[in-house]
Amino acid sequence: MKKLIYGLILCLSLGSAMAQKDSVMSCFHFDEKDIMHMTVPEKKAKWFREAKFGMFLHWGLYSMLEGSYKGRTLPDTTLIHGKSWYAEWIQPRLEVPMDEYKALAKSFNPIKYNAEAWVREAKNAGMRYIVLTSKHHDGFALWDSKVSDFDVMNTPYKRDVIDELVKACKKYGMKYGFYYSHWQDWSFEGGARPHWEPMVDDNKFEKYWQEKSLPQVKELIVKYDPDLLWFDTWNEKCHITERRRDELIYLIRRNSQKCLINGRICFTNPGDYIDFLEMFDNAYPKEIINKPWQTPATMQHSWGYHAKDYNWKSADEMLRYLVNNTSKGGNYLLNIGPKADGSLPLPAVRRLREMGAWLMANGEAVYGAKPLNIKCPEGVYITQKTIKGKRYAYIFLTKAIEHLSLKLNSKKAVVLDTGQPIPVETTKLIFERGEEYEATFTIPADLFRDSSIQVLKVELQ
Ligand code: JFZ
């Protein structure tokens, strides 16, 4: 329920857009041409709508601690802020002294890091874009940053991790973007502190904003030309005012024609100039949303690598989230927490490959497919597509069902994976207000011998 209300707030604040334009103009003196470019034009943003499935990567110094520190493991309820699985939050939650945490950089040496291997894994999984944490709340930059010494060049590894990933993405035709913690920065004076601490003085925050946050974002855009930037805020008590939000957006628009911006740039007030909405973590809407959107999601509880987080979701469960989102017009950004040595955890890789195998056979029903606004029973999802002038519906069955009736007009249905014909009968219902069709599919029980999701490809009349 809470999630729903937040979703609503999000949509409402998008609506108040026009009112904000004036204040933005007076702040930055945009001219007409600038305003026209305040969101990425539809044509350049189309890839995101069609992509459906992306890889999120949380990787940084925290990966070295693997969710544990000095005999304690997250979540640890004996510490006042220890109650969280999020391994990337280990520094404040398990009370690691900042100096000690920063010193981890002296031994960060991911000798197994192979950017091309990561990209190939994403590609085989059926993912169409990658989002890597360029700097998380701890403030550590994974690229060669001229703005801050707290970066990968001051580690024994001394290699620009992001540059290598970008090159690999370009080689394999993978879209790429970066998570950048623009608000929280625990290692830089003036950067926002964990939300349970008092807010830092706004003048100090402004200094951080001008001296680190904005310059690093600019660096990321100018150096690596990302397809999207992923910002992160989540509560009201936040230094990201409308002015700062728009200042950051303007900086990005001035330097890139294509870079998409997510709604969490200012969660409670994203305004009119963002390109897509970001749901709550692991939140899957039940209604169609027209603005482009995605759900960031975990395979376990934690985002960063946590060696003792055994809460793995199954590939089937994750595919259900993917098809739910596809049927509601959104994307699924699924996270991996690579190990500190640069390798990907095996349980994650196995799940990626299982999902990739399913998508190899059923991707037609997912990529570029649009929502179809008809009522479906629990566990059934639907999308649509036009191929060579013919309209098709794709029905995702996530559990056994003998007879399925939907408000469709169809004479022909097959199992997408195998081509097996599925009996369908359409009846015409006549009402005062007009006529309606109802198609009833008879689904063989043995279709569910393997538990994965079955897709029916349905020709529409
Ligand atoms: C944030 C980060 O703090 C976290 O480490 C991770 O990067 C995740 C993707 O984003 O966590 C959040 C952000 C927002 C909410 C919850 C966790 N929220 O709005 O409920």
- Residue whose C-alpha is closest to residue 96's, from 58, 150, 60, 138: 138
Q: Whose CA is nearest to atom 17 of ligand 1?
A: 281
Higher pLDDT, 268 or 309: 309
Higher pLDDT, 202 or 36: 202
Q: How far is the CA of 248 from the centre of ligand 1 (A)?
A: 20
Give the atom of ligand 1 at the shortest distance from the alpha carbon of 184. Answer: 3
> Is the pLDDT assigned to residue 266 strictly greater than 70?
yes
* Alpha-carbon distances, residue 414 vs 235, 450, 454 (angstroms): 47, 17, 11
- Residue whose C-alpha is closest to residue 138's, from 85, 192, 84: 192
Give the atom of ligand 1 at the shortest distance from the alpha carbon of 88. Answer: 5
Q: Which of 30-39, 102-111, 153-162, 338-347 is the least confident region?
A: 30-39
Q: Report the pLDDT averaged over residues 349-372.
A: 98
Q: What is the pLDDT of residue 38?
A: 84
Digit-coded pLDDT (tens) for 10-44: 433 433 333 343 333 334 455 545 655 689 999 99
Q: Report the pLDDT averaged over residues 226-239.
A: 93
Whole-structure pTM over 0.85, yes or no?
yes
> Is the pLDDT assigned to residue 328 strictly greater than 50?
yes
- Residue whose C-alpha is closest to residue 296's, from 30, 108, 54, 18: 54
For CA atoms 81, 278, 209, 271, the dihedral sign is: negative
Q: Whose CA is nearest to atom 14 of ligand 1?
A: 234
How would residue 5 be classed by pLDDT, with cut points 50, 70 and 90?
Answer: very low
Q: Which of 320-329, 375-384, 445-454 is the least confident region?
A: 445-454
- Residue whose C-alpha is closest to residue 180's, from 119, 133, 127, 115: 133
Q: Report the pLDDT averaged over residues 399-404.
A: 94
> Is the pLDDT assigned to residue 64 strictly greater than 90?
yes
Q: How far is the CA of 342 from the centre of ligand 1 (A)?
A: 23
Q: What is the pLDDT of residue 29?
A: 52
For CA atoms 186, 104, 178, 294, the dihedral sign is: negative
Q: How far is the CA of 118 from the centre of ligand 1 (A)?
A: 23
Q: Whose CA is nearest to atom 19 of ligand 1?
A: 234
How would residue 448 be classed by pLDDT, with cut points 50, 70 and 90?
Answer: confident
Pocket test for ligand 1, best of 85, 232, 336 (most atoms within 8 A of CB): 232
Q: What are the pocket residues of ligand 1 if the criterion is a CB atom closer than 6 Å to any ligand atom?
A: 86, 88-89, 232, 234, 280-281, 296, 303
Digit-coded pLDDT (tens) for 69-124: 999 999 999 999 999 999 999 999 999 999 999 999 999 999 999 999 999 999 99
The share of the chain scoring above pLDDT 70, in percent, equals 92
Query: Phi, psi at residue 386, to the nearest 5°?
Result: -110, 125
Q: How far is the CA of 329 from the centre of ligand 1 (A)?
A: 22
Q: Report the pLDDT averaged over residues 346-362.
A: 98
